[in-house]
Structure formats: C-alpha cells, structure tokens
C-alpha cells in the first residue's frame, strides 16, 4: 500500500487557543490545560489503527514533553504498514531548548536532534545539519502560544514550516466526558489539516488526508484534564 508518512506531517499542526487573547508561550502550563497527559485513538477511514499520547512532567526545574504515536494497518494477521514516532522535548522558562525525535516509517528510520536557546537552535537530521533562528515552537499540539507564530519547527523533518490558520466554525465533538463545543480550525501552507479545540483551548480532535487518500482522525480519549 502507499506510504502513510503524511500522517505525522498532518499531526504536526499547531495548538490553537480558542476564546481569550492568545497567551505567551512562556505563560502556558500544560498541567493547567490537560493534567499530566493527552491521549487519542487514531482512526483510518473510521477504523481504529493506532494511538497518540503526549505526556508532561517536571524534571530539574524544566518541563519535559514526550509525544508517542503508533499506527498499524493490517489485513487479517499481516501488517501492511507500521509507523512509530517518539519525540522528547525539554523546555526551560517557556522556551524549547532540546528536542530528540525518532521515527520508524515502515522499515525506514530517521532522527531529528535540536539543541540551543532562545536565540537559535542547532538541528541535525539524516540529511545534514542546519541552524535555525529562534525562538521557535515545535509542531506538537499542546502549546497554544504557537498561535501567534507563522513559522514552526517540523519535528519530523527538522525543517521550518510556514503556516496559516483560519477558524471555520463551531461544532460539538466527542470527548471522554461526552460531547463538548469546539472551534474548528483549518491549516494551510506547509501543513494542511483540520483541528478542533474546546472553549478552554484544549485540543479535542484532529482530521486530515494521508498520502494514500485515506482519512485520518484523532478521537479524544483523554484531553480534558
């Protein structure tokens, strides 16, 4: 089957804050929004194929964010496609200062390493090394401060992505506490996806097209704290 590598590109969208004025990235506490973790069931054309989870912890005065995405497409007992993604980011005073990402894409492995401070990040990938002007937020979903930025660090490729975001309406979505009102946002530019956030700015749903034309959807399993 065709590669589903755009799955992670799709989930590398922005976390948007719906409601009050956009907060500064330095002021965001994921513990206030979500508790210690967020988790989703991943659907492909309506069928369950995987999970996505983000965990938060404090270590030596810093915030450590671990994101794990696992997907498996099967036919009977045969694996047609497997994708595993793990990223670990360390934040200091609201600024990402370290990132390590490992990806297994149906037999191919890749890695992104980034280290720096608020002024710049040194990034190393399978393709080589680069230096990116900072501060810059990564393409993980939890930090609503990214709403005020038009550039993000793609945690899969190690490259800078330019993005535009537009709200396209409100609707009720399923959560672990029943349905909740959420705002739907559409992403364009280097990242294209649809994401839903509740009135407190918590990420509650995601949907996009994979390269093979299938529809990938993230259904909230634990996202309301």
Given pLDDT bands bounded at 50, 70 and 90, which one contains residue 123?
Answer: very high
Predicted confidence (pLDDT) at residue 5 exceeds the cutoff of 90: no
Q: Is-contact 202 220, C-beta < 8 A?
A: no
Nearest to 98 by CA among 84, 117, 76: 117
Mean pLDDT computed over 114-120: 88
At residue 70, the pLDDT reads 96
Predicted confidence (pLDDT) at residue 139 exceeds the cutoff of 70: yes
At residue 24, the pLDDT reads 53
Mean pLDDT computed over 91-98: 89
Q: Which domains does the chain have, with CATH numbers?
A: 6-222 (2.50.20)
Predicted confidence (pLDDT) at residue 161 exceeds the cutoff of 60: yes
At residue 194, the pLDDT reads 87
Answering whether pTM is above 0.85, one says no
pLDDT above 70 covers what percent of the chain?
A: 84
Predicted confidence (pLDDT) at residue 25 exceeds the cutoff of 70: no
Predicted confidence (pLDDT) at residue 21 exceeds the cutoff of 80: no
Question: Between the CA atoms of 53, 21, 175 and 54, what dihedral angle is there, to the nearest 10 degrees?
Answer: 10
Q: State the first-to-last Cα distance of the chain, in angstroms, to the nearest integer.
A: 37
Predicted confidence (pLDDT) at residue 10 exceeds the cutoff of 70: no
Written as one string, the DSSP assignment of 63-115 is: EEEEEEEEEEEEETTEEEEEEEEEEEEEEETTEEEEEEEEEEETTEEEEEEEE
Which has more confidence, 76 or 14? 76
Mean pLDDT computed over 125-136: 90
Residues 6 or more apart from 24 whose CB is under 8 A from it?
94, 145
């Amino acid at each position: 089957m065709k590669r589903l590598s755009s799955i992670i590109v799709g989930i590398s969208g922005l976390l948007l804050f719906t409601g009050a004025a956009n907060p500064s990235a330095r002021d965001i506490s994921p513990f206030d929004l979500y508790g210690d973790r967020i988790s989703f069931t991943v659907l492909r054309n309506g069928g369950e194929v995987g999970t996505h989870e983000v965990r938060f912890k404090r270590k030596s005065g810093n915030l450590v964010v671990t994101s794990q995405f696992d997907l498996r497409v099967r036919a009977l007992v045969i694996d047609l496609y497997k994708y595993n993604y793990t990223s670990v980011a360390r934040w200091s005073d609201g600024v990402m200062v370290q990132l390590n990402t490992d990806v297994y894409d149906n037999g191919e492995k890749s890695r992104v390493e980034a280290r720096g401070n608020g002024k710049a990040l040194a990034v190393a990938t399978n393709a080589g090394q680069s230096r990116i002007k900072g501060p810059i937020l990564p393409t993980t979903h939890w930090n609503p401060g990214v709403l005020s930025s038009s550039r993000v660090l793609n945690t899969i490729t190690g490259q800078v992505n330019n993005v535009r975001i537009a709200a396209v309406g409100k609707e009720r979505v399923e959560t672990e506490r029943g349905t909740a009102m959420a705002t739907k946002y559409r992403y364009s530019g280097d990242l294209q996806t649809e994401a839903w956030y509740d009135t407190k700015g918590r990420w509650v749903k995601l949907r996009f097209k994979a390269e093979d034309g299938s529809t990938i959807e993230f259904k909230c399993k634990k996202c309301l704290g």
